[in-house]
Amino acid sequence: MDIQRLVNAYIIGLGDNADNSSLRQTLINHIVKGDMSLLELVQALGSYLASEEAGRRSKGAHVLSDVLTELPESAIPAQATTRLVQFFCARLSDATCVPHVLASISALQRLSSFTDQCSVDVLRALFKEVHVQSFQHSTRSTAYKLLDQIIQSHPQVAKMMGDDTVLGFAQMLDGEKDPRSLMIAFQIIPKLAKLVDIKNNADDIFDVVFCYFPITFKNREGDPSSISPELLKSSLRAAITCSAHFGEMAIKPLVEKTTATSQSVKIDAYETLTAATQTYSPEVFASEMEVLIEQIREDVVMASDEKVVNAALDTLEAVYSVVSPAAPLTSSAAGQTPEIDETTTSLDYVLKDAIFQLTAEEVKNSDQVGKLLLAAARSSAYNCNVVSDAVLPIVVERLGSAEVLTLRRELMDVLNYVLSASCDISRKAECLEADKDNLLNIYRLDASVPLDKEYSFLHITRLKGITLLILMPQFLDKNETSLALQTISRAAIERNEDENVNKEATHLLVQLSQSNPDQVQTTVLPMFFTALCEDMVAVHKIASLLNALGAIGVAASKVLLPILDGLASVITTGSLALSHYVPTITTIRKMIETTAATTNGDTVCPELMTKVVAPLLSWISESPDTGHQNQHSIVVEIAKATAAVFSKLDTETQGQYLKPVFDRYSAIALDPDNTSDPLCQLLPLYSALVCACTPQTKLPVEDLSRYLGGLASAALKTTSAVHRDVSFEIIAATINKANAGTRGELTKSVLECADKVESGVAHILLRHWLARALVNCNDKAGYECVRWLLGQITQGSMYSTEAAEGFNIILGNHDWSVTPATHGVFKLLSKQRFYATVVPEITSSFKSASDDKIKANLLVVLTHSVQHMPKSVLMSGIEDVVPLLLSAIRLTSGSLKAASIRTITMVVLETPDTLMSKVSSSIIPLLIGSLTYSDAANTVQVRQATLDALSLVPEKYAYSVIHGARRDVLRALVKARDDRKRLVRADAVKAYNKWLNFGDI
């Protein structure tokens, strides 16, 4: 083996920028096998490493670096590590070799044989010999990473070197500008501060760090190596606030930064001050407290930006938590309010201004004053006592005499903020007990107080205060709490002239249901159920009550089941008016679906099935004809709820429920002549249960193939649309979940039974449902059904219109059959395959068709196909589809036309250049024509979709491209502003303003 020849070849390759991977691997293999040693490699590189030419020395170091980086640890003897470290440390004085030497040391540093002494040698050489800022970013980054690695793996070395480590790092960092290097450097500082006493050199390290504050930069989009501005800010903040020794130097400039005009700088300064309270001593804040509090007050009162206000208030709370005593300075007798020595409290900066505002004839900025007091009171138990003791007597006294409603609301607002600080038992103000009677009089818990005449803003504020009294630990007794909950419940239930009162009361009950679920269950829920069952309850009130119950149930799991149980009970016992069945059952269904979709849905649903769904199923089964005009809607809503719960049950439990269901309904489902049987109207319940089964659940039938064939035969013969649809749903769900071998047999059996029945529209629908089952699991038989349907359209069959419309079944959403929630099988890329297979056939057939009806039906198929496609799939080959979509806008109506317009809008948004040549001449005229509300084809959906598209066009195209259509668009939009629908008018105004200002300089 000729080592020198390999080395020379490697060096030549470096000069020619060749791929040296094979040579490098050869050298590594020889070292691993023991054919040569690392020291022999160094000797072979001797003429290069000792050369007077910088380029040759650099290449020699490059070879060694490349080998060491990929060499396994087992191939590097412990004694060789020490020698190599000494060799590389000596080479750090050679600027030409530094980049490769640092990489070599980094490779050695990962070895267990890299000792503490090696770390000392490396750090001393690095700090003494390497001027880090004179090198490119990659080298600087390697130097920072090397220091970081040594600090983590050999912390005792950094600690032992002490000041040398701190000063050396400060020298390395001084002048750094690259955000990527700064990120590493900022993360090193807290580690250094934890290991080393930086007291003697705090000013040196602080100066090189704080000069970057506030730091701003724009990251490079699409660059995986780039870092986020937020992460860099966070790292700098951690560096500035990591040591108490920085406090005296940092506080004053940080406070000065809070006066900056830039909101981002303000926020950064406030957040850094907040973080500093965790490490800086309280004394360093004291000198700047007055200036800081004044600036915080100004930012909160001016309220220029909510983020600035929140950051300022967080800082106020954090600072007061460290500068104020943790306990009262002096206390009176046990059980009495602590005596506050006003001359020693820093809270004066907030309290004096607040008291001035509260005692003025007109209270100004009550909301801002309240927020400041809240932040101060929340900072500690002592501060909560001080603030409450100072503010409560003033507010209570003024509320006792104030008659102006607006003044009462402002004072009560401030009081609410102060009380909210006492909702935490760890800092509850002791003086509140003495003022309890006054507070009860102010907030009036008496549920008999009339609500409809009260000033709504004051009413809302009072309700918030009552909520705070409930939330304050051990403040109200059981009876008082019950009375308070009744007052809030009445506000949510009874109609008020201002509906915001009802909404706010509902919001407060949601909040209370999370903290006081037992009391809400015993006091609030009975009031709601009673209100639901009252005679002659208005529809809008029922909707309000159900929305409130739904919000409370979803927010608090402990009251969910009582609410659902109560709603089911008022239905099954007949306590509810017939007209309210549908909205109530819909509310039950929505709550169940929301709960089933949560992470603990599997554990909750068995109980929901037993206590809610099963009683509803029994009720509707025992009285299948409720006499309600929306009987079918009731059944469907119960079926949706059933599917949501049943799909979460385990296989064994599902089997137990299925047996009696099949005994009751299967005979009716298989008999096409039983359409007059009341149970026929309940077949959606049967379908929901069967379709929601897991693939492992075995249906209680002897021959599944025969059973599905019988369903198909009955569906094709029945005159009941409900019976037909249910059968197809069950067939599709069962075939979709079957294994690949069984799936073909089941499909064949169904089609054979169908062929024995006279053709009709049901045959068309059967193919749609089979396609839904098979296409979504990528079964080729599904595409045979699709081509059969396309053949019906292109051949002008008498059912061609139904064949086209039914394509929505194949890819569209359904309540329970072949859906992800009910364990439907959806193979990866199934929609992409459908698009790639079917859309070209549609396009080709459209171009070759001469009959207008065939073309119109093909456009319907296309619209149904593209509206369910993922955006990424749709954009592939969109150029061929756009002409057909434009034709669809002309020839279709209603939801199909709206879908076509939305697809065009998506193209404009994603790839506007695709439509550049058509936008002015074709697209805009079609959109203008779609705004005419007198045309029955232009439904509200269509007009809204059109306005969305028109609003987007000026954003995506230059004035020179569409200026010719501007006048026509504005005329159309002027008319659209007078549309009969308010939502359309609002969209028209927005679009008009965009086009009116378009092209203005």
The per-residue pLDDT for range 47-84, each reduced to its tens digit, is 888 888 888 888 888 888 888 888 888 888 888 899 99
Distances (CA, A) of 56 to 11, 12, 507, 515: 9, 11, 76, 74
Confidence of residue 448 (pLDDT cuts 50, 70, 90): low
* Count of CB atoms situated within 10 Å of the CB of 449: 12
CATH number, domain with residue 144: 1.25.10
40 domain residue, yes or no: yes
561 domain residue, yes or no: no
The per-residue pLDDT for range 144-171, each reduced to its tens digit, is 999 999 999 999 999 999 899 999 999 9
What percent of the chain shows pLDDT beyond 90? 55
905 domain residue, yes or no: yes
Length of the chain: 1001
Q: Are residues 61 and 177 in the same domain?
A: yes
User: Of 231, 248, 265, which marks where a domain is finished?
Assistant: 248
127 domain residue, yes or no: yes
Confidence of residue 213 (pLDDT cuts 50, 70, 90): very high
User: Of 323, 345, 363, which marks where a domain is finished?
Assistant: 323
Confidence of residue 782 (pLDDT cuts 50, 70, 90): very high
User: How many angstroms separate the CA atoms of 937 and 894, rounded?
Assistant: 6
Asked if the model's pLDDT at residue 225 lies above 70, the reply is no
The per-residue pLDDT for range 453-486, each reduced to its tens digit, is 567 888 899 999 999 999 988 889 999 999 999 9
Q: Are residues 233 and 263 in the same domain?
A: no
User: How many angstroms separate the CA atoms of 442 and 343, rounded?
Assistant: 31
Q: Are residues 191 and 42 in the same domain?
A: yes
Average pLDDT over residues 761-767: 94
Contacts of 453 (CB under 8 A, 6+ apart): none
603 domain residue, yes or no: no
| Mean pLDDT over each residue of the chain, to the nearest integer | 88
Asked if the model's pLDDT at residue 773 lies above 50, the reply is yes
Q: Report pTM.
A: 0.77
398 domain residue, yes or no: no
686 domain residue, yes or no: no
Q: What is the DSSP letter of 914?
A: G
Confidence of residue 300 (pLDDT cuts 50, 70, 90): very high
Distances (CA, A) of 357 to 248, 316, 404: 34, 19, 17
- Assess contact for 463 and 504: CB atoms under 8 A: yes
Q: Are residues 236 and 304 in the same domain?
A: no
Q: Are residues 243 and 183 in the same domain?
A: yes
Q: Are residues 194 and 129 in the same domain?
A: yes
- Assess contact for 63 and 43: CB atoms under 8 A: no
214: preceding bond cis by omega (within 30 degrees): yes
Q: Are residues 94 and 146 in the same domain?
A: yes
Q: Are residues 89 and 235 in the same domain?
A: yes
CATH number, domain with residue 923: 1.25.10.10
Average pLDDT over residues 638-643: 96
**495-509, 616-630, 879-893: least confidently modelled range:** 616-630
Q: Are residues 178 and 311 in the same domain?
A: no
User: How many angstroms separate the CA atoms of 719 and 677, rounded?
Assistant: 13
- 930 lies in which domain range? 875-1001
288 domain residue, yes or no: yes
Distances (CA, A) of 698 to 659, 661, 763: 10, 14, 27
User: Of 307, 323, 339, which marks where a domain is finished?
Assistant: 323
User: What is the total count of domains within the chain?
Assistant: 3
Q: Are residues 101 and 192 in the same domain?
A: yes
pLDDT at 32: 84
Q: Are residues 198 and 309 in the same domain?
A: no
User: How many angstroms separate the CA atoms of 421 and 102, rounded?
Assistant: 56
User: How many angstroms separate the CA atoms of 670 and 677, rounded?
Assistant: 13
Asked if the model's pLDDT at residue 277 lies above 80, the reply is yes
Q: Are residues 174 and 276 in the same domain?
A: no
